[in-house]
Amino acid sequence: MGRATQTAAAIAAGELTSEHAVAAALEAAERLQPTLNAFTMLFEEGALEAARAADRAARSRETLGPLHGVPVAVKDLYDVAGAVTSGCSRPYLDRAPASVDAHAVAALRAAGAIVIGKTNMHELAFGATNTASCFGSANNPWDPERIPGGSSGGSGAAVAAGIVGIALGTDTGGSIRIPSSLCGTSGLKITTGLLPLDGILPMSPSLDSPGPIASDAEDLTVAFDVLSGHAPPAEPIRRIGVPNDYFFDIVDEHVASSVREAIVVLAGTGTEVVEVPAAWAQLADDAWLILALAEFGRVHAALIDRAEELDKGIEITLRAAMAVAAEDERAARDRATAARNAFASTIAGVDVLVTPATPCTASRHTDETLVIRGVEFPVQLGAQSHFTRPISTVGAPAVVVPCGFGGDGMPFGVQIIGRPGSESTLLALSRAYQVETGWHARVAPVHA
């Protein structure tokens, strides 16, 4: 049972008060902030007041939501009523506070959750490291000298450190899945377009997807049920597809071997494992960058007048985004359509695809390049998103759960991909995997 579900059960049983749970989360967040820098703001007074109200409701035996009284956190591009949504970008710090909660935040509150604060992120969500942020870099609980991944790095760090059991992130090219892999948490990239984007500062609207990072697949399932409002039943798994091309070409040997071991566990008894084509992956990856840049440039064009306030890498990204030609964007959309069609054909013959989530473990903040099997990747140009971007382009859902540790002692995850709308199936398979393995139960050295 995950941290959030344990807390909810204890509160419902009268064994724990929400006030105690929330106070402990706030204390841990404050104590670990100098080490992790996971939060951009904490809502101490409002969270404790909401927790006391939750305790009164529990004592009066009112009907309790699945997350009643449970502390949670949200990425700093979700609107939280009364707080500024900055996207960790200095020019947006002077925006007016949000008047209402984002749709996803409201859904958490309706389920009884208590929002204790907003989490750090890669500036404007365009990056996989979380080293670019006007609040400073967020750090990995397994080694604070390393990145937590991005862009939802603060959410990944807050969950991995045991501060909260559930934190909201967003995923445009891997921004939930990468921190989940690098921090040893469980994360869900939801089918693109399944959930509203209301109240979320956009990066690339056609690719953006809200979703949760959680302590394990059980917490992840509860979070998805709350966010979606309805979850279709899981389907049985009879065939697992493994796209060896692209996804296993350039990957750390520890990651590759552990993912193949995970495939054996996921298959269990009676499930066929087959190799499937992955030509769509490179096509989708090529399209992703142009589409993401073009939309990013339109969304944040006004920031060019305050470019000196941006992280230098984000300034360069924005200038490149605004220079994308219309004909290049049209060609990219054609490639994306072709990739989606090819992906649909591939996954029609299997129930899920299984790949590595990231090519390697978390890099150090000071690393400029990663060398994987002799190939050099620039860290700040999306090295960690190589296996996640194509899935965003085709709009499919994907779960990442921990599946091993590298030679450096850092965690990494396996990515389980489904056809659109198959979240329940992916989550059921992830829960079954975690029953058989203990990777998700490992505790980071920096922990609440």
Catalytic one among 137, 151, 155, 181? 151
* 417 bridge partner residues: 353, 398
Q: Give yes or no: 18 in active site.
A: no
Catalytic one among 133, 137, 175, 204? 175
Contact 239, 24 (CB under 8 A): no
The DSSP bridge pattern shows strands 272-275 and 239-242 to be parallel
Instruction: Give the chain as a 3 state SS string.
Output: CCHHHHHHHHHHCCCCCHHHHHHHHHHHHHHHHHHHCCEEEECHHHHHHHHHHHHHHHHCCCCCCCCCCCEEEEECCECCCCCCCCCCCHHHHHCCCCCCCCHHHHHHHHCCCEEEEEECCCHHHCCCCCCCCCCCCCCECCECCECCCCCCHHHHHHHHCCCCCEEEEECCCCCCHHHHHHHCCEEEECCCCCCCCCCECCCCCCCCCEEEEECCHHHHHHHHHHHHCCCCCCCCCCEEEECHHHHCCCCCHHHHHHHHHHHHHHHCCCCEEEECCCHHHHHHHHHHHHHHHHHHHHHCHHHHHHHHHCCHHHHHHHHHHHCCCHHHHHHHHHHHHHHHHHHHHHHHCCCEEEEECCCCCCCECCCCEEEECCEEEEHHHCHHHCCCHHHHHHCCCEEEEEEEECCCCCEEEEEEECCCCCHHHHHHHHHHHHHHCCHHHCCCCCCC
Q: Give yes or no: 189 in active site.
A: no
Catalytic one among 18, 75, 137, 152? 75
Q: At what angle do helices 217-228 and 3-12 cross, to 10 degrees?
A: 70
The 10 Å Cβ neighbour count of residue 264 is 11
Q: Give yes or no: 151 in active site.
A: yes
| Rounded Cα distance, 147 and 152, in Å | 11
Which tokens hold the place of 152? 């939802």
User: Of how many residues is the chain composed?
Assistant: 448
Contact 39, 255 (CB under 8 A): no
**Would you name the residues annotated as active-site residues?**
75, 151, 175
